[in-house]
Amino acid sequence: MSDCRYLGGDWTLVANLLVGGKFKRLECGYVERGKRGVSNGLDIFMIYRTRLVCWVFPFFVMSRELFKIFRKAQFQQKLKLFVRLLRLNFSAFKTQLKFEKQKRGQRTHRTLPVSGS
């Protein structure tokens, strides 16, 4: 299993576990998330954007890893995975563009100090 320190690495980890065979399911449980965690803000794209391709396909590494995991899947399943990953990447691309535009707007719209006459 590869290093999971990339955008969507947690999803890849779960997929790896599920492909491994039987998986114990619990009757109840919970997930604890931090309010100020990395994945809670839009800076997450900037943090995990390590290559130019990650601008257009923010989940590029995750997509590549998932195709490795599901290389033995049937063609129809691979096609379904491809389409869903394409949609996910497109949605994330639009979100990061919107965020970057807002960030730049905040930088250019800062008020300049006004000197008294």
- Residue 84 has a pLDDT of 97
Q: What is the pLDDT of residues 45-104, one digit of tens each?
A: 888 888 899 999 999 999 999 999 999 999 999 999 999 999 999 999 999 999 888 888
Is residue 38 pLDDT above 80, yes or no?
A: no
Alpha carbons 14 and 2: distance in angstroms, whole number: 13
pLDDT band at 112 (very low <50, low <70, confident <90, very high): low
- Residue 23 has a pLDDT of 76
Output the six-digit token pair for 55: 């601008």
Q: Is 22 left (phi over 0), alpha (psi -120 to 50) or beta?
A: beta
First and final CA of the chain: distance in angstroms? 67
Phi, psi of 32 (to 5 degrees): -105, 125
Whether this model's pTM surpasses 0.85: no
- Residue 63 has a pLDDT of 97
